Amino acid sequence: MQKKWPHGLDWDRLQEKFSRLFGHHPITELRKFSGAQQLYFQNDRRNIDAILQEPILTNSGNTIALSSFIHYQLDQTPQYITADKSGPYFSISLDQNIPERTSAQRKILAWANQHGFTARFSGTYFEGIQNFYSILKIFLISILLLYFILALQFENLIQPILVMLTIPLGVAGALVLLYLQQGSLDVMAAIGFVVVLGIIVDDPILKVEVINRLFKTYESEGISRLQALEKAIHDAGDICLKPLLMTSLTTSLALVPVLFTPGIGSDLQKPMVYIIIGGLTMGTFFTTWFIPLAYWFITKKK
């Protein structure tokens, strides 16, 4: 016994119509020795309003539209449910470039506390900030350790400061180049600062060490203090110029191909390359001219 529907419809005919409209109507079978595979009719996906205008044949031979007895209502449901140990939660994705991000976070936290919820912020943006501050701490600790090591090497508390003055100058040059190239100050840029810290102090350390040795040698030969100082600075400049230029040029030129290499990997490394090239360029310039003048200004007063 078939179930009767309004307008003279029966269930079988209605089911066949729905199968054709929504792409699950069997057409035929492909028979093989191992079995049979059912083939289904697949209809193009259309708007639901267009589908409801499809006619259907009644038992009396008349046709009526599906919309005459089928109605629908749109509703929103979660595509998936996320949960952890504390239970289900709703995850909201925000653009990291939205203005007034900090005030938006405060508003979300205030609303969550007011309604008894717990709000946490996570994602690549917040992980990047955390990693950046971690590398910044490493950078500051490295500067402190560098000062103590140089103080032991030079047996002097002022000369390490003289060497470390090239660090802010190099950082300034790195930031200028990064700004001109519209690079981002991210984790890779912070790694570049650590690399610059390790390389940029090599040249002033070498120059100060050579000046100290030549200054002691010339003083032991009976030359006056001021003349020995000027001669030591001049000779140390001639001795250290080639190593200084070779160190900076080889490091900078080796990184230039990264700037012209396409791909995601090179795009991520470009901020680091800008930092290293800018820092070494500015550091080399000031090491060549600033360190000898500062050494002469400090030592002549003793």
- Residue 1 pLDDT more than 70? no
CB 178 within 8 A of CB 274: yes
Range of lowest pLDDT (9-18, 77-86, 141-150): 9-18
Comparing 99 with 268, which gets the higher pLDDT?
268
Q: Which two tokens stand for residue 216?
A: 């002691």
Residue-wise pLDDT for 135-186, tens only, equals 788 878 888 888 898 888 888 888 888 888 888 888 888 888 888 888 877 7
CB 121 within 8 A of CB 109: no
Q: Which two tokens stand for residue 96?
A: 């990291």
Compute CA distances 215 → 159, 238, 239, 244, 263, whole Å: 14, 15, 14, 20, 52
pLDDT value of residue 214 = 92
Pick from 96, 67, 91: which is nearest to 81 by CA? 91
pLDDT value of residue 128 = 74
- Residue 18 pLDDT more than 80? no
Q: What is the mean pLDDT of residues 72-80?
A: 74
- Residue 25 pLDDT more than 60? no
Pairing relation of β-strands 4-5 and 9-10? antiparallel
Comparing 36 with 72, which gets the higher pLDDT?
72
pLDDT value of residue 37 = 63
pLDDT value of residue 106 = 82
pLDDT value of residue 122 = 75
Fold (CATH) for 124-299: Multidrug efflux transporter AcrB transmembrane fold (1.20.1640)
Residue-wise pLDDT for 261-302, tens only, equals 887 777 888 889 999 998 888 888 877 888 888 888 888 766
Confidence label for 2 from pLDDT (cuts 50, 70 and 90): very low
pLDDT value of residue 107 = 83
Residue-wise pLDDT for 244-257, tens only, equals 888 888 888 888 88
Domain with CATH 1.20.1640.10 in the chain: 124-299
Rounded CA gap, 240 and 218, in Å?
Answer: 18
Q: What is the mean pLDDT of residues 14-30?
A: 64
Q: What is the mean pLDDT of residues 65-71?
A: 73
Q: Which two tokens stand for residue 157?
A: 């508390």
Comparing 35 with 207, which gets the higher pLDDT?
207
Residue-wise pLDDT for 204-242, tens only, equals 888 898 999 999 999 888 888 888 988 999 998 888 888
Displacement of CA 212 from its chain's centroid (Å): 44
Q: What pTM was computed for the model?
A: 0.55
- Residue 43 pLDDT more than 60? no
As a whole-number percent, the residues of the chain with pLDDT over 90 amount to 4
DSSP 202-268: HHHHHHHHHHHHHHHHHHHTT--HHHHHHHHHHHHHHHHHHHHHHHHHHHHHHHHHHHT--SHHHHH
